[in-house]
Structure 1
């Protein structure tokens, strides 16, 4: 069993090309030895599910699930309160003996020779919940701890990819530029060519380069800030093929903890070959925000401060509306006021300003 690094690139490819989700689930099923796998988005109000990717299910079984058995699914009901991003096996949600007595098992799972499942929700709002998982037979028993560790490691990537896909869907509906979405992401994203020449950095990536403690620009080329990582970083930017995604741990200055950098070759549109560029996704720990300091300086209301914090965390207005019970129109009014008070004109500028916020002091008088 490998670490699953070979799947991570495919997960992010599927975020930008949703037709690839079926391939992701096929590879996950093969790697884990499961009978089936599924990634779906469920609308909690209409109780309708949208299949993002699947493997090992017949179409008529999915139709029956959406029409009838979904409402009886004890796994899904447990998922409504399941911690987002966590992965568990179904026996921890419902005992085997209790599952066997359900109509859901007898009439839906049993004909498909399914009994156990493992996975979890990767996103949840008041209206939606996105879930991924794999399923196996009763005869094969529980999934091994090794497989559970693999699926757990993949969960945050499913979460990020799902949120990227949602953002891109919004872009396509609203006609926004793709770069605008990347600037709104809290995670630093940088794109370089095979010579390490920087062609793009989102707002968080620009802040990372200004700090120069992990990566820095030298003559327009990106290099590791720590001398001991320079050679390894340069070598990682030249993958052997279009599908060779990987990762690299880089050290930081000032005795800070090392950071994981995901390296994903970018393919040419509608082609398999490598475009000669790679995207770097830097998994930094959340920086101190200090928005309370800015709130006082700009005389923000509590509602405006909460909106800024949610946007900084990568939430979209529709998600914030779902979670807070405030209409999107009200949030747009608050956002316009927030722009006026802070003197910026884009959500990306709010993110940049938040990244530069001073840490609040413990003594208001200092």
Structure 2
């Protein structure tokens, strides 16, 4: 099914561009499942919030009221909490919900015309619960097993995409915090994981690297043009990653020199808050 293949690509696009979830769910509803609307709800246990991550077909007011507190009446989401990760099913039939969850029926199902909801548990752990809901109206037919199977196929892609989305949100928040703190200090910040791959590079750090011929980023890794200085930097990173507490507490620094620059690019290496990563703080006098 070409539309399903296209949908997988759109899912990964939404991982980096949250506004793209609307297009993901439009394809899922209109081209694949003949549904009226769909949404991903996230219950963040650490923040104590339950919000709509992205949706298609829901009235704007429904999204606003849900995020402002109506979410606590979401009976479908509570049912989904009992379902293992990766399992899709039809979780709501309005004929049953009218009896078993009358408040939910009156406050959410009836006003928004949600007659049937097929759900997929994407994440369910101590940190958070994320679930997909696909909706049909009261006048429509329930979801069939083949349609539930299609939703099931999306599980690994949705899980990866939301994991990427959450990591990018964390990095964006960190970048904003760092930019606020570092804007007055003229420090560049780079985070490198234990495999040498860059996880984060602030705008200030990128500007410093663009202006200093001795250091570049190549294939997601930091490269020092001079081999001896490159080796020295890798040794500092390894030392910062070491499991010996006394060594991890030390801040390590070096100056990267280049013949075209009068002053070295100062690099301080320190363990990052993220396990298995280090921060490089750059200063170009």
TM range (shorter): 0.5 to 0.7
Question: Which of 118-127 and 101-110 deviates more?
Answer: 118-127
Aligned equivalents of 1:24, 1:76: Cα separation in 2 = 21
Deviation at 1:49, TM superposition (A): 2.7
Q: Render the CA deviation track for 1:254-288: whole Å, top value 9, x for unaligned.
A: xxxxxxxxxxxxxxxxxxxxxxxxxxxxxxxxxxx
Q: Which residue of 2 aligns with 1:7?
A: 7
Deviation at 1:3, TM superposition (A): 6.5
Alignment coverage as a number of residue pairs: 198
Aligned equivalents of 1:128, 1:335: Cα separation in 2 = 31
Deviation at 1:340, TM superposition (A): 7.3
Higher strand share: 2
Aligned equivalents of 1:177, 1:88: Cα separation in 2 = 44
- Note if contact 2:51-2:71 (Cα within 8 Å) is conserved in structure 1: no
Aligned equivalents of 2:82, 2:24: Cα separation in 1 = 26
Question: Which of 166-175 and 126-135 deviates more?
Answer: 166-175
Distance 1:83 1:167, change over 3 A: same
Q: Which residue of 2 aligns with 1:132?
A: 132
Q: Which residue of 1 aligns with 2:204?
A: none
Q: Render the CA deviation track for 1:217-249: whole Å, top value 9, x for unaligned.
A: xxxxxxxxxxxxxxxxxxxxxxxxxxxxxxxxx
Distance 1:99 1:182, change over 3 A: farther
Aligned equivalents of 1:172, 1:8: Cα separation in 2 = 24
What's the secondary structure of 1:4's corresponding residue? helix
Q: Which residue of 2 aligns with 1:161?
A: 161
Structure 1 stretches lacking a partner, 5+ long: 185-198, 203-333, 350-366
Q: Considering only CA atoms, is the larger Rg found in Structure 1 or Structure 2?
A: 2
Structure 2 stretches lacking a partner, 5+ long: 176-188, 198-217, 222-240, 249-270, 279-285
* 1:103 aligned onto 2:32: no
- Aligned counterpart in structure 2 of residue 347 of structure 1, from 253, 276, 282: 276
Aligned equivalents of 2:152, 2:51: Cα separation in 1 = 23
Q: Which residue of 2 aligns with 1:174?
A: 174
Deviation at 1:99, TM superposition (A): 0.5
Distance 1:37 1:116, change over 3 A: same
Deviation at 1:337, TM superposition (A): 4.7
Deviation at 1:15, TM superposition (A): 0.9
What's the secondary structure of 2:154's corresponding residue? helix
Aligned equivalents of 2:277, 2:147: Cα separation in 1 = 39
Distance 1:41 1:149, change over 3 A: same
Question: Which of 144-153 and 29-38 deviates more?
Answer: 144-153
- Note if contact 1:168-1:181 (Cα within 8 Å) is conserved in structure 2: no
Aligned equivalents of 1:182, 1:113: Cα separation in 2 = 50
Q: Render the CA deviation track for 1:115-139: whole Å, top value 9, x for unaligned.
A: 1111222123334211112101232
TM-score (norm 1): 0.46
Q: Which residue of 2 aligns with 1:86?
A: 87
Deviation at 1:171, TM superposition (A): 2.6
Report the RMSD for the aligned CA atoms in angstroms: 3.5
- Note if contact 1:167-1:181 (Cα within 8 Å) is conserved in structure 2: no
Q: Which residue of 1 aligns with 2:49?
A: 48
TM-score (norm 2): 0.58
Aligned equivalents of 1:12, 1:166: Cα separation in 2 = 13
Distance 1:174 1:84, change over 3 A: same
- Note if contact 1:168-1:178 (Cα within 8 Å) is conserved in structure 2: no
What's the secondary structure of 1:90's corresponding residue? strand
